[in-house]
Amino acid sequence: MNKKIKIFDTTLRDGEQTPGVNLNLKEKLIIAKKLEELGVDVIEAGFPMASEGDFNSVREIARKVKNSYVAALCRATKSDIDRAYEAVKDAAKPRLHIFIATSKIHMKYKLNMREEEVLKKAEEAVAYGKTFCEDIEFSAEDAYRSDKEFLVKVFERVIRAGATVINIPDTVGYALPNNYYDFIKYIVENTKGIENVDVSVHCHNDLGMAVANSLSGIMAGATQVECAINGLGERAGNAALEEIVMVIETRKKDLKMSTNIDTTKFTKISNLVSAITGVRVQPNKAIIGENAFSHESGIHQDGVLKEKSTYEIITPESVGKINNKNIVLGKHSGRHAFQSYLQGNGIDLSGDELDEAFKKFKRLTDMKKTITEKDIDAIVNDNISSVDEYYKLISYQVYSGNKMICTSTVEIKKGDEIIMESAVGEGSVASAFTAVERAIDKKINLKDYSIRSVTDGEDALGEVTVKIEEGNKIFTGSALSGDIMEASLNALIKAINKAKLN
């Protein structure tokens, strides 16, 4: 009998702490629903005390998600716990996730507390949370750099106070897999009452070992893994959910473990998270990278053509790698056929969202000879990442050449008002962006601009990602089009709308 490993997804909390990632309510809700469909056991929806926006997102996710636990992060203080519970209380399965640091370095420099104080605070916080929430996860922040004996004391106290899960994070990604194994085993073997709770691991990727360390943790007795789609997270990120699950799936005979995850949804959810966050996946990334199933050398190609298992240990189908097959939709397809196609693929759009996606699809059929599944996916993801449109691009004109100063004119809608502005610049994008800056009458602090093709062929769709800075925060906008200037302007306007540069 395989041991069931619970998957705790933190894309919306630790993942949102990825530099430059800032998700709004609509985006978080869509990702949460997809995580639920993926089969994750726990969705960590956010840190309600951090901001009003975080609080609202956690509350809405808690109300919409039915099958997964919805966890809200909070520090070990009454005010944090109250706020977190208020956000998560309507969930079908609410969880409070209380944390306090336990390493000497954190206690001395960050908390300015002694061991006894931390012990007391941890115990009191869990006991307080337990008065209104049955499911309490307790995390000892920077656990791996903490004194083992002290950690055992903390865990025994919080288990007695009612914790149902104890989490042992490698917060700074410092562990080596064999040391982390020994560490988890020590805690599991020496903590009284631990057999009655779930033991969780949460590994950061600073030395590129988050997945290896998480695996060591579950081999040593942990029953829950905390991870994020595409390995998003603070600094170098968290363990990548798709990698850890595929290790368990591919090596299940040796590991004797399994999860509840539907791995065939990996490619779609990875693309969705990438489109919404603006954080691209490296091509050589395991499982969901563009090259994960490409065979370049002649010897490998020959081997795979003769027998796939020569060079493929997992199949592209098992992770939902989109077959770039043409689809039956085309120039003459109507709105209904388009909607039926989406529904058949598990995408439920209606009203304005469907209208907008259909408009994009129609434009695409004018530009592209063949429409593939990848094109439709890209359109749907582009639509999702659209934010409330305070500003909207109506039209633009660009005159450019290598021996002239480029000139752009943009027409932008703001409420009922249409604003038209022109500007010159060193290049077409620079002049168009300056024209937008004039139209909105605000300085735009452009931090990054990048472009890539998201589908295949000569008439591939291009995706532009723009990052701007406002009030010490980075806001990202991505947009898709067969026309690079249109994608550039829409990406910039999405970033401006997110930053609320009104």
Residues at the interface with Zn ion (CB under 5 A)? 14
Q: How far is the CB of 97 from Zn ion (least distance, A)?
A: 11
Q: Which residues neighbour 347 within 8 Å (Cβ) at sequence distance 6 or greater? A: 380
Near ligand KIV by CB under 6 A, which window of 163-171, 214-222, 390-398, 470-478? 163-171
* Closest approach of ligand KIV to the CB of residue 473, in Å: 20
CB of 201 to ligand KIV, least distance (A): 10
Nearer to ligand KIV (CB atom), residue 18 or residue 139: 139
Residue in 171, 259, 386, 408 binding ligand KIV, rule: CB under 6 A? 171
- Told to check if 99 binds ligand KIV by CB under 6 A, we report yes
Best CA proximity match to 444, nearest among 397, 418, 417, 410: 410
Q: 41: helix, coil or strand? A: coil
- We find the least distance from the C-beta atom of residue 143 to ligand KIV, in angstroms, to be 7
Cα-only R_g, the chain:
24
Lookup result for tokens 């104890």:
166
Contact between 9 and ligand KIV (CB under 6 A)?
no
Number of H helices, E strands in the chain: 17, 16
What does DSSP assign to residue 389? -
Task: Name the helix (H) or strand (E) containing 96.
Answer: strand 94-101
Specify the residue, 57 or 488, whose C-beta has the smaller distance to ligand KIV.
57
Return the number of the residue (216 or 431) whose C-beta is nearest ligand KIV. Answer: 216
In the complex with Zn ion, the residue whose CB is nearer, 106 or 494, is: 106
The least distance separating ligand KIV from the CB of residue 12, rounded to whole angstroms, comes to: 13
Pick the closer one to ligand KIV by CB: 88 or 499.
88
One-character DSSP codes across 403-447: TS-EEEEEEEEETTEEEEEEEEESSHHHHHHHHHHHHHTS--EEE
Q: Which residues on adjacent β-strands are paired with residue 489?
A: none
- Closer to ligand KIV at the Cβ: 41 or 141? 141
Binding at 223: pick from ligand KIV, Zn ion, none (beta carbon under 5-8 Å per type): none
Minimum Å gap between C-beta 200 and ligand KIV is 9
How many residues at the interface with ligand KIV, by CB under 6 A? 9
CB 49 within 8 A of CB 79: yes
DSSP state of 314: S
Q: Is 139 in the site for ligand KIV (CB under 6 A)?
A: yes
Task: Report in angstroms how near the CB of residue 282 gets to Zn ion at its nearest.
Answer: 21
Output DSSP code: residue 22.
Answer: -
Binding-site member from 9, 14, 156, 198 for ligand KIV (CB under 6 A): 14
Residue 15 in contact with ligand KIV, rule: CB under 6 A = no
| Residue count of the chain | 502
E strands present in 307-416: 391-399, 406-414
Pick one of Zn ion, ligand KIV, none as the site partner of residue 44 (Cβ within 5 to 8 A by kind).
none
Pick from ligand KIV, Zn ion, none: which does 99 bind, CB < 5 to 8 A by kind?
ligand KIV
Residue placing its CB nearer to Zn ion in the complex, 18 or 476: 18
- Nearer Cβ to Zn ion (40/468): 40
CA distance 242 to 170: 19
Closest CB 264 distance from ligand KIV, rounded Å: 29
In the complex, the smallest distance separating the C-beta of residue 154 from ligand KIV, rounded to whole angstroms, is 14
| 144 binding partner (options Zn ion, ligand KIV, none; Cβ < 5 to 8 Å by kind) | none
Lookup: tokens for 401: 């050449």
Residue 463 is a binding residue for ligand KIV (CB under 6 A): no
Choice between 85 and 99, CB closer to ligand KIV: 99
Rank residues 136 and 292 by Cβ distance to ligand KIV and give the closer one. 136
d(CA 480, CA 488): 8
User: Considering the rule CB under 6 A, would residue 80 count as an interface residue with ligand KIV?
Assistant: no
Residue from the set 6, 34, 202, 285 that interacts with ligand KIV by CB under 6 A: 202
- Computed from CA positions of residues 121, 124, 126, 132, in that sequence, does the dihedral angle turn out positive or negative? negative
Q: How many CA atoms lie within 13 A of 110 on its CB side?
A: 11
Q: Which token pair is 495? A: 């970033």
| Calpha distance 26→10 (Å, rounded) | 17
Which does residue 139 touch among ligand KIV, Zn ion, none (CB within 5 to 8 A, set by kind)? ligand KIV
Give the pair of three-digit tokens for residue 384: 């999702």
Considering the complex, what minimum distance in angstroms separates the CB of residue 345 from ligand KIV?
Answer: 34
What letter would DSSP give residue 388? P
Distances (CA, A) of 213 to 208, 224, 236, 425: 10, 13, 14, 50
> Which whole-number Å values give the CA distances from 389 to 26, 276, 416, 439, 496, in the listed order?
13, 16, 12, 15, 10
* x/- track of binding to ligand KIV for residues 269-298 (CB under 6 A): ------------------------------
Work out how close the CB of 210 gets to ligand KIV at its nearest, in angstroms, rounded to a whole number: 10
Which residues of the chain form contacts with ligand KIV (CB under 6 A)?
14, 99, 139, 141, 167, 169, 171, 202, 204
